[in-house]
Amino acid sequence: MQIGDLMNMSGVAFGTSGARGLAQAMTDRVCYAYTAGFLGYLRASGLLAPDAEVGLGGDLRPSTSRILVACARAALDLGCRPCYLGRIPSPAVAAWGLARGAPSLMVTGSHIPDDRNGIKFNLPTGEILKRDEEGISAQPLQVAETLFDAAGAFVEDQSAALPSEDPVAYREYVDRYLDFFPSGCLNGLHVGVYEHSSVARGAYVEVLEGLGARVTRLGFSEVFVPVDTEAIRPEDVALARDWAATGRFDALVSADGDGDRPLVGDETGDWLRGDIAGILCARQLGARGVVTPVSSNTAVERSGWFETVLRTRIGSPFVIEGMQDLVDRGMDRVVGYEANGGFLLATDIEQDGRILSALPTRDAVLVAVAILRAAAEQGKPVSALSADLPRRCTRSDRLKDFPTEIARARLAEIHRGDPARDRAAAQAVFGAAFGPVADLDVTDGLRITFVSGEIAHLRPSGNAPELRAYTEADSPERAEEMNRICMEILAKWRA
């Protein structure tokens, strides 16, 4: 058997950035096999030295501790030395590995509910890409079956396989930003950190305070909270408005469960859309080349702030491949971002003699600090930073528990490869609400541009049985109305 066979049997499969599935399906045996397959692939590719260190980190959901132990035991059995880096942000784990040329993995389900979990794998050179997923899937299943019972649980306690926590990765991650941004650059700002259950909460507080901001901790939770930075929960919208109504804060910041996707709120309690935050961060860092998925706000091109904007499929592996393409063309100051706000650095960034080293994986803390510094430098409230951007507003939402095969079949009914026929099919479904169809883009899902310039983009999620809708218009009210209408139309597709 191969790892790919195990995916089909267990329901734990690769999504956009690692393996994910129901926590109960991610048994000790499944997680052990996935880790063994990852390390076996590295060894076969010449990327894993004998007795190599392997970094392990995790988020705060209940199943993470058990999965970490299974991953550590697999690393030991493959002749490696597991190094437990703690419950720290995913980018901190990746940065640890990049600095040492060592593989790493992060046990996390990111923003999804805690009945699910996942494992993100990082090569010694960065995130795994789609070709690496194929190589891991083809690895032979290396499992000592006597380790597990019939349900896939360890027969004996294996907790000793996970060593004591080493704080070095967290410390290096915090220092990364304290060393790059000027001391005191956030003086005078009062920032609320919405902690909930994110592993980024400690790093946020330490970095912001270290740069001069006054910080108030808000919303701490012992129970895992599935904060999604792309489809923000109504309760998180209400919390931000309530905190802002006190008049105490210049900004609010938060992140998803594993700290790679930011939430940045202005002084009024409005959370910035992730793709707008990405544009502002890229501008503050002086980026020349910007890579972003097809779902992101078109204000990035319309702004004229960047020499090159490259569009990709949705997911960090595709953004990373796009960034590498620009680097291969000889471009420097190359960055990437996603609609969820995650920000990636393909090249080093130099400012005022300080260098921020490349980190080609999603990060949250960088976005928040860059935007806050922009507000402080320009003497503007956070709400005014996007005033120079063309007026393009986006919204996104999702239908949960929407079978992926049904979603894909419905989209295939509209797009069959005949441009005129396909435009007519899209207009038959959406024309009454949005007018004539100008163009269809199937880079990832189905992106419909109407003659009005408005956009509706429909896409099955790569991580969960969800159907997402992204809408773009010239006003937030219209973008929200479009999204609501899309949700109503798509809900009927389940039947």
Q: Is 110 a catalytic residue?
A: yes
The dihedral formed by the CA atoms of 85, 175, 52 and 2, expressed in degrees to the nearest 10: 60
- pLDDT tens-digit readout, 181-209: 999 999 999 999 999 999 999 999 999 99
Q: 225 vs 229, 261, 364, 467, CA distance in Å?
A: 12, 14, 17, 21
Q: List the catalytic residue out of 10, 17, 110, 303.
A: 110
Task: From 465, 470, 439, select the one nearest 295 (Cα to Cα).
Answer: 470
For residue 376, which amino acid is it? A
Using alpha carbons, list the distances in angstroms from residue 405 to 207, 245, 396, 466: 44, 44, 21, 11
The answer on pLDDT for 441 being more than 90 is: yes
Q: With beta carbons less than 8 A apart as the criterion, state whether 82 and 162 touch.
A: yes
H or E, element range at 69? helix 64-77
Backbone angles phi, psi at 163, to 5 degrees: -70, 175
Query: Euclidean distance between the first and final Cα of the chain, in Å?
Result: 37
Instruction: Say yes or no to pLDDT of 462 above 70.
Output: no
In angstroms, rounded to a whole number, what is the distance separating the alpha carbons of residues 173 and 171? Answer: 5
Q: Per residue in 21-47, pLDDT tens?
A: 999 999 999 999 999 999 999 999 999
Say which DSSP state 55 is in. Answer: E
Pairing of strands 53-58, 104-107: parallel
Q: Which residues of 196-225 are buried (b: 16+ CB within 10 A; e: fewer)?
A: bbbbbbbbbbbbbebbbbbbeebbeeeebb
Q: Average pLDDT of the chain?
A: 95
pLDDT at residue 464, rounded to an integer: 72
Nearest residue to 12 (alpha-carbon basis) of 463, 459, 398, 467: 463
Whether 297 and 277 have beta carbons less than 8 Å apart is answered as no
Q: Residue 143: name the closest of 11, 42, 40 by CA.
A: 40
The answer to whether the beta carbons of residues 343 and 335 sit under 8 Å apart is: yes
How far is Cα 267 from Cα 270, in angstroms, rounded to an integer?
A: 8
pLDDT single digits (tens) 312-353: 998 899 999 999 999 999 999 999 999 999 999 999 999 999
Residue 133 has pLDDT above 80, yes or no: yes
pLDDT at 15 over 80: no
